[in-house]
Amino acid sequence: MSEENSTVPVEWGPMRSFGRIKSRKLKPLQATLFDTLLPEIEATGARVDAALASGRELWLEIGFGGGEHLAAQAAKNPDVTFIGCEPFLNGVGSALRHIEDGGLKNVLILPGDARPLLDNLPEAVLNRIFILFADPWPKARHNKRRFIQPETIAAFARALKPGGTVRFATDWADYADWALERFLASPDFDWPALSQSDWNTPPADHITTRYETKGLGDCEPVFFDFVRK
């Protein structure tokens, strides 16, 4: 990545894995942070290049919702650079508030689709990817909009370092089955789980968010950690 606009979305085909971009008017503080903080931490090509050149670990969260998990992980891991991607502007506003409140200096924000960013990253540069409680698109006719698809799994494999991980969490049973089937079909990932507790118990470093506690799905949360071969 070498240009300031290298994260501008490119054509990925007809799949749109997210719904609304905005649902309500931004709170005054959030609106202010869009003008003051976001320009300083937006994941432009130049800033991503600098993160890559720093030699620090690089973790990516796709669809960070309100940014609680993203900000808490960044606070717990100050030597890691985080990139968070979220197309929902109200979620971006919430994340900016968490980043401002925490005085965090190791987070970059992309207010948009993560897939063009994945395409523009060099090979084998990410250490971890998080996809937590993504929109399940539960109606069968909408399953094609789910973020977990063979092409996105291939993009994860290209961008991850060997031994890097993807953590996928959901509270929808059908989406859990869908994701597991597609990751197991990939030649690029292992799933090292040995017992039911490996996916039914939140990982030790997991940070519970308000969305997760609402229990809006049809099953208890499931956590899959897939490892890049």
**Residues carrying an active site annotation:** 135
Alpha carbons 19 and 86: distance in angstroms, whole number: 11
Residue 130 phi/psi, 5° resolution? -115, 130
Q: Residue 177: helix, strand or coil by DSSP?
A: helix
Please state, in angstroms and rounded to a whole number, the distance separating the CA atoms of residues 56 and 153.
Answer: 24
CA 106 – CA 58 distance, rounded (Å): 10
